[in-house]
Structure 1
Amino acid sequence: MAKLRFNALELVQERQKIEVTAPSDKVSDYFGENAFGLDQMRASLSQDVFNNLKHCIDKGKKIDEPTADAIAAAVKTWAIAKGATHYTHWFQPLTGGTAEKHDSFYDMHARLEKFKGGALVQQEPDASSFPHGGIRSTFEARGYTAWDPSSPMFLIGSTLCIPTIFVSYTGEALDYKAPLLKAVQAIDRAATKVCKLFDRNITKVTPSLGCEQEYFVIDHALYSTRPDLVMCGRSVFGHQPPRGQQLDDHYFGSIPPRIFDFMRDFEIECHRLGIPVSTRHNEVAPSQFEVAPVFEEINVATDHNQLLMDVMNKVAEKHNLKVLFHEKPFAGLNGSGKHCNWSLVTNTGINLLQPSSSARENLIFLTFFVNTLKAVYDHADLLRASIASAGNDYRLGANEAPPAIISAFIGTQLSAVLNELEHSGNVSVEKGDNMYMKLGIDKIPEIILDNTDRNRTSPFAFTGNKFEFRAVGSDANVAGPMTVLNIAVADQLNQFNKEVEKELDKGTERRMAIVNILRKYIKESKSILFDGDGYSDDWVKEAEKRGLSNVKDTPRALDFTISEKTIKLYEKSNVCTERELRARHETLLENYIMKVQIESRIMGDLALNHVIPIAIAYQNKLIENANGLKGLGIDNSAVVKTINDISQHIESIKNNVRQMIEERKRVNKIEDIRDKAIAYCDDVKETYFDKIRYSVDKLELFVDSEAWPLPKYREMLFLR
């Protein structure tokens, strides 16, 4: 292993520059050239066919066979002209990644390329082999993928990829996209109703999303010699380097040349696919970086984020690099998140979370702003569950990421506005050409975009014209948390609309009715608001006083996904049935168990088969040295102490690994999946991981560096 390590380090030094050439000096010349969305369809379809397609998308209707055939013919012509030989339905199963099965355009019997509407609209992958939480049995293999026409098709290499949902033979959702699409419909209906209180011209509301993607990059040769990174995505061992992130010199610093070339290359591929990536920079930890796109409709943004991660992985291979999306690949350094910037946009072009100098427009803004905060307050536990994963457990609350306590940051000025709205005893509506509210002041004050500081310790922060859900993990499919956020806000908006209607039925003036209900919501949800340091112990105590949950591990957090309250929310939103929710709960627990189990196994393998043999060999050298010194009459006490220290760490590792293995055997016999997940969390991970790591990391300092088998943090993290 030591030889592999040094061979890898030599390869790193010998890497040659990979030339990156864009198709044109202007991105506009090639942006979207490998995507086939509505713009391309408009250009290649007859007006009647396109209008029919657009109507089906807008109304959620089934596409008829002639329309599907016309679209299939157009996309086949486009794809084959670009060198495509195969097509695939590209879907997002509950693995968290993406899946695809390629079929050839070439028909062996007809001896020509064929692609009909039926193949475009539907395929039949094996549903029993994907995570399903008991919905499908092994002998019930059939499942369906169904085309999502609202998301652009795209070309990867010689394969046309068609975004689809994935459902079982009996219709249950087995993916992340289907619930998200239903959640988008739910918030559209609810938000549009509320908008009509202000503007009858608003007929549609679309949630938008921008995902800031954080990630680490290391050389592929070093990655390949770390079995823990290969198997788990994170380093289970590794002593802190003398220099980590304490100088804060990496953040926004000059991008290392190899990484710069890699970034340029994957950005070019993203732009060709129509993914609007626009920002790149160094993040806080060494070898940590970020890419961010322009906002898009939430379904497309989710697809593009999944595709972005895939493109980054493929381009990294070309550059002899490896991208790490794990939330905490290196202990002691900042973890990686996926900051989800969310807003609501009307068909008339209004961002409903955009403050304004107009009192009338600010009332619309405050309506959606306060209702979102109320939704976060009411469904904080479900939002916490939506970001739960084995990887994110290492990151949340680790003094570089939001804590597991869900709170919202809104800034000093908006806090003052809500406080005034809540407590003002002089609330009246003045009528005239310029309608405004009196709140003990002349009107709602002008709320300037980005008028307040940001709070990076907040899980859910308002950042000027959007909310930023910062607690989402870097490896997550954002469709999960975004589904929860959208149905929570949709449910709250429905409740708000009902309460307004009751007030109107009583004869209350419309704007006064809105203000009165908003005041009530502010009072009810104010405990969720926190503008201070989310990393502090004082906040943990204060949150407990406020009655906010602080569930730090995934198995217990996932309880919220099948609570009576959650089931009711999903069913009345028509997003998931109770059966689907329980299946997802089981799938997430299984995923957690397997990930902790794999980490436990790799820790045992590395410790017993790699670290301890090297440590014993080095210890034997020290024993020879100690005996030699003693024979010469030289004091050998320092060497003897080192031998004893090494011996103690070796014994500690052996004992803890053996006990961990026995505990794992016991836990594997537990039949109830929730109990098993909790046991893996408490009795395997929490009991043994840190103990074993402590001794291994100490041995890294004792053992001769020439003999140490694993690439060290200082070797992996300072790539230039």
Structure 2
Amino acid sequence: MEKSIPEMYGSLVFNDSVMKEKLPKDVYRKLHKTSKYGASLDLDVANTVAAAMKNWAVEHGATHFTHWFQPMTGVTAEKHDSFISPRSNGEVIMEFSGKELVKGEPDASSFPSGGLRATFEARGYTAWDPSSPAFIKDGTLYIPTAFCSYSGEALDKKTPLLRSMEALNEQAVKVLHLLGYDDVTHIDTTIGSEQEYFLIDKDLYKKRKDLLLTGRTLIGAPAPKGQEMEDHYFGVLKPKVSEYMHDLDEELWKLGVPAKTKHNEVAPAQHELAPVFETANVAVDHNQLTMEMMKKVADKHHYACLLHEKPFAGVNGSGKHDNWSIVTNTKMNLLDPGSDPYHNKTFLIFLLATISAVDNYQDLLRISVASAGNDHRLGANEAPPAVVSIFVGDELAKVLDAIDHEASMEKTEKTEMSIGAAVLPNFVKDPTDRNRTSPFAFTGNKFEFRMPGSSLSVADPNIILNTAVASSLEDIYDALKDVPAEELDQEVYKLLKKMLDDHKRILFNGNGYTDAWLEEAKKRGLFNLKSLPDALPQFKAEKNVDLFTKYHIFTESEIDSRYEIKLENYSKTIHIEALTMIDMVKRDFTPALFKYMKAVESELLDKKALLGSVSGYDLRVLKELDACSNAIDEGLAKLEADVKKAEGETDSLAQAEFYHDVILKDMDELRVPVDTAEAKLPSEALPYPTYDQLLFSLR
């Protein structure tokens, strides 16, 4: 008999209910205090937890354990050890100690370190993160951990995220106590990460060298049909795709990932999965699991899952919308405006804290989503522009305008929506429309950061958001801490007005896709950082270094290392793409083109011998293909020569700029004659599947 969903959900997770059942009460209380409030955990408690965790894991068929961490590669890493412990009599027992639970020692020199570690400095440590529950996958107990070097520098994405959560917690609680919320002892940021992805046939995927090696198609003529009919978005799920989504849901539910929503996205073969909100740290772990399981389940269904931000030219790419909010231990959402937002000073303080944070650190938010893949997506008519701005909607715009002009404002009455047919129900209209062009939009009781790319670790933007808002809240606390209680309301609104005056340039409720907005943004002094090489130098700007070091998010050496890692990753990504394109064009496409041209030429000669003349069409086709062949030869020569120049560049920023300014341009120019020629060749003459086969083969 199959398990029901409630029975299935979290069945492979060492979650709170399992801990309550398996641990002594005093140990459970100490562990809960550690995971929720960061209290230290002594070795005796760790030993008891480890024994219970091992017994539970073995009951569920686990034979190994692994410290699961998130190095600067953007994906996860793991090293598996068995539970077996040999005895002198030749037998083994299953053991797992507290020391093995809390600390591991993977090799740190083989992961990206940006110069923090040399090859001979190999030792690194993983440290158990008890705030994210352990789980079982493929017969192994997975223990979420942080990852640092022998000298203590963070080499991962979890450590700075946890630091940023602590910084925001400290500053938010101080402000809330100032406002009279003495029962608030802790806040958490919560995240809901909407994950977009493509599914294509696995056999076709294996025939595309560019997809296999880079995750995106580097050549390919457009299909006769793309997304212009707008019929795929929220369309009926194809039966086999629906089966895949069903199995994916079940696998995620077993691991405690609250997968909630699934649907077709805008582009053909594109889909989306969205979870329920969770605490930031757990949500980040779960999004990594989601991406992994998407690929694993796809393979079982004979699909390939593509998480690249722009796998196909001419149709929408994939993003990962980061829905962010702040919730107290008393279950109060601090970004919920309530029924009367103008008089909800707590909401307004946290709203303006977020607005000022985004304005002050717009460059860091842009950097947090910058990558070789996402740079193809941002700014197109499918994703927000590279300029960071905030949409607050009509109702909040009126509230902020009233604050700005020191005017009173009455409570806005809810509007009932009537669609006009008696059979259809009336319902309360939302206070504001949605703006899908806004990078950072208020959506009712949260902000939706829409710039992250689909393959990105969602830790990166949330590190910046948490830290920037913590800084704003500290400024608010300093401004209000000495104000007498009877004057607090008056001073709060004065402070809100000043913050609004200082930061309203970041507010924009209009169409972010227009050239007029880009001109307006420039006048307002907003950054327009179009690529990673444009953006990344800001990472080491004095104000940003001061922010990171003040709240102990990164040391200066950790800042330098991340700067170098991002540049190196960008250059290596485009380098691999360039080499793959050269290889495909030289070894796959050009021979196919020559073979077809030879066939056309042979047919022309046969017709001339038989009829004494040739048709204008046949001759024109041969001439057009010959022109493409010459252009391909010139484009290949230029790309190969420029790749050699790029390889010789020793300055990391200059190299990344060269890859962006020269190599990507060369690749775009080479693609034109390749795609032009491809469109003239019959499908059977091509050495790889075409766009129409890739995008429209799902059943």
Structure 2 length normalisation: TM-score?
0.95
* 1: CA distance, partners of 2:144 / 2:40: 16
1:627 Cα offset (Å): 2.4
**AA at the equivalent of 1:670:** E
Distance in 2 between residues matched to 1:281 and 1:122, nearest whole Å:
41
1:132 Cα offset (Å): 0.4
Q: Cα deviation per residue 1:395-443 (whole Å; 9 max; x = unaligned)?
A: 001110011100111111111110011112xxxxxxxxxxxxxx43346
Q: Distance in 2 between matches of 1:449 and 1:547?
A: 35
Aligned partners of 2:154, 2:229: CA distance in 1, in Å? Answer: 48
Q: Which amino acid letter does the alignment assign opposite residue 480 of structure 2? A: V
Alignment counterpart, residue 9 of structure 2, candidates 31, 53, 73: 31
Among candidates 618, 642, 662, match of residue 639 of structure 1: 618
Q: 2:477 aligns with which of 497, 508, 530?
A: 497
1:341 matched to 2:323? The reply is: yes
Matching residue of 1:661: 640
Contact 1:313–1:322 under 8 Å retained in 2? yes
Q: Is 2:76 the counterpart of 1:98?
A: yes
Q: In structure 2, what is the equivalent of residue 313 of structure 1?
A: 295
For structure 1, list consecutive stretches of 5 or more residues without a partner in the other structure: 1-21, 425-438
**Residue 47 of structure 1, CA deviation:** 1.2
Report deviation, 1:525.
1.1
Q: What pairs with 1:177-256 in structure 2 (closer than 5 Å)?
A: 177-198=158-179, 199-256=181-238
**SS of 2:522 mapped into structure 1:** helix
Higher mean displacement: 519-528 or 224-233? 519-528
Which of 63, 71, 87 is equivalent to 2:41?
63
Q: Residue 111 of structure 2 aligns with which residue?
A: 130
Q: Deviations over 1:592-625 (max 9, x none)?
A: 0110001000110011111111111111111122
Residue in 1 aligned with 2:246? 264
**Shift, 1:265, TM fit:** 0.4
1:278-357 → structure 2 map (5 Å cutoff):
278-357=260-339
Shift of 1:472: 0.4
- Tell me the CA shift for residue 317 of structure 1: 1.0
**Residue type matched to 1:680 in 2?**
Y
1:440-589 correspondence to structure 2 within 5 Å: 440-442=408-410, 450-501=430-481, 504=483, 509-589=487-567
AA in 1 matched with 2:454: S
Match of 1:682 among 628, 644, 661: 661
1:390 aligns to what SS in structure 2?
coil
Letter in 1 for 2:266: V
Aligned residue for 2:441, secondary structure, equals: strand
Q: Distance in 1 between matches of 2:70 and 2:577?
A: 25
The alignment partner of 1:218 has SS state of: strand
| Structure 1 residue aligned with 2:627 | 648
Once the 2 structures are TM-superposed, how far is the Cα of residue 361 of structure 1 from its aligned partner?
Answer: 6.8
Q: Give, in angstroms, the shift of residue 45 of structure 1.
A: 0.8
1:415 to 380, 384, 397: 397
Matching residue of 1:382: 364
| Contact 1:94 1:176 (8 Å CA) reproduced | yes
Identity %, equivalent residues = 45
Shift of residue 59, structure 1, vs aligned partner: 3.5
Q: Please, what is the CA RMSD of the aligned residues?
A: 1.6
Structure 2: give runs of 5+ residues left out of the alignment: 416-427
Deviates more, 1:619-628 or 1:228-237: 619-628
Contact 1:354 1:449 in 2 (8 A): no
- Say whether 1:150 aligns with 2:131: yes
After superposition, the C-alpha distances for 1:481-533 in whole angstroms (9 at most, x for unaligned) are: 1101110111111111111225x17x970111111111111111111111111
User: How far apart are residue 651 of structure 1 and its match?
Assistant: 1.4
1:628 corresponds, among 606, 625, 633, to: 606
Alignment length (residue pairs):
681
* Bigger mean CA deviation after superposition, 308-317 or 138-147: 308-317
Are residues 1:51 and 2:24 paired?
no
- Give the Cα separation in 2 of the matches to 1:451 and 1:43: 45
Counterpart-to-counterpart distance in 2, 1:708 and 1:345: 55
1:403 corresponds in structure 2 to 385
AA paired with 2:657? I
Cα pair distance change 1:301/1:449, threshold 3 Å: farther
Normalised to the residue count of structure 1, the TM-score between the two structures is 0.93
Distance 1:360 1:645 in 2: 67
State the distance in 1 between where 2:646 and 2:694 align.
35
Partner SS for 2:573: helix
Q: Deviations over 1:151-176 (max 9, x none)?
A: 01000021000000000000000000
**Structure 2 residue identity aligned to 1:159:** T
The one-letter amino acid of 1:346's match is: T
Three-state SS of the structure 1 residue aligned to 2:54 is helix
CA contact (8 A) 1:340 1:470 kept: yes
